[in-house]
């Protein structure tokens, strides 16, 4: 209405009266940060990263179970894998924790990686590489969850959430309704 048909709007007394009000509402709407228009910004990105985190975590957990059950692996390999499992994924339930808890665990457990690095390098895993690669992937995904959560917080900091734009939406809808009614009355008067 304020675009290509602006001249039609200005041709009416109602349009001249309402144009400044409508423009003010338009500016207010355009000033709403992108994040405020979503109830959960970065939800898809967080979900995707959580899938990677949980995938690496489940792989670490299950390789721990497989190595523990294997009758012919060395005690050193069994101990290395058992320790990695105990530190990073002691039970599958940790993979169902909230994103923030998974991110915090990655940060908290990172120092342990340096301590057991050489033991993890010694354990080959399917697909090539070592258990160290899987643990690094697990921790990196946890770090990415933290980064995405911080980005989400920044997006939401400008506006508390989408509901904070509700009064603007309500007042704009009301203004548009009054404008349409007034314009309709003006057009009916012009016909008579």
Complete DSSP assignment for the chain: --STTHHHHHTSHHHHHHHHHHHHHHHHHHTS-GGGGSSSTTHHHHHHHHHHHHHHHHHHHHHHHHHHH-TTS-HHHHHHHHHHHHHH-SSGGGGGS-HHHHHHHHHHHHHHHHHHHHHHHTSB-TTSSBHHHHHHHHHHHHHHHHHHHHHHHHHHHSSS-GGGGHHHHHHHHHHHHHHHHHHHHHHHHHH-
Domain membership flag for residue 14? no
Residue 124, domain extent: 43-154
| Counted domains in the chain | 1
Domain membership flag for residue 94? yes
pTM of the predicted protein model: 0.67
Domain membership flag for residue 64? yes
Domain membership flag for residue 144? yes
Q: Which of 121, 53, 118 is nearest to 88 (CA)?
A: 53
Per-residue pLDDT tens digits of the chain, which is 192 residues long: 566 778 887 888 988 998 899 889 888 888 876 656 666 788 999 999 999 999 999 999 999 999 999 999 999 999 999 999 999 999 999 999 999 999 999 999 999 999 999 999 999 999 999 999 999 999 999 999 999 999 988 877 765 545 567 788 788 888 888 988 888 888 888 776
- For 46, 54, 55, 140, the CA distances from 146, given in Å and listed in that order, are 9, 14, 17, 10
* 72-102 per-residue burial string, b: 16 or more CB within 10 A, e: under 16: eeeeebbebbebbbebbbeeeeebeeebeeb
CA distance 2 to 66: 67
User: What is the C-alpha radius of gyration for the chain, rounded to an integer number of angstroms?
Assistant: 29
Domain membership flag for residue 32? no
Question: Is the distance from CB of 168 to CB of 28 less than 8 angstroms?
Answer: yes
CA distance 82 to 137: 18
């Amino acid at each position: 209405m304020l675009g290509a048909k602006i001249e039609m709007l200005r041709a009416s007394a109602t349009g001249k009266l309402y144009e400044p009000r409508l423009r003010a509402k338009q500016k207010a709407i355009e000033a709403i940060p992108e994040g405020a228009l979503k109830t959960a910004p970065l939800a898809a990105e967080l979900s995707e990263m959580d899938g990677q985190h949980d995938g690496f975590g489940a792989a670490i957990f299950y390789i721990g179970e497989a190595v523990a059950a294997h009758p012919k692996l060395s005690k050193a390999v069994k101990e290395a894998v058992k320790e990695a499992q105990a530190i990073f994924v002691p039970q599958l339930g940790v993979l169902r924790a909230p994103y923030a808890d998974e991110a915090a665990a990655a940060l908290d457990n990172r120092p342990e990686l340096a301590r057991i690095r050489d033991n993890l390098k010694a354990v080959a895993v399917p697909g090539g590489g070592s258990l160290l690669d899987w643990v690094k992937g697990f921790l990196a995904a946890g770090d990415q969850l933290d980064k995405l959560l911080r980005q989400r917080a920044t997006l939401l900091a400008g506006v508390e959430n989408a509901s904070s734009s509700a009064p603007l939406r309500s007042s704009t809808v009301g203004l548009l309704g009054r404008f349409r009614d007034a314009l309709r009355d003006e057009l009916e008067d012009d016909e008579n």
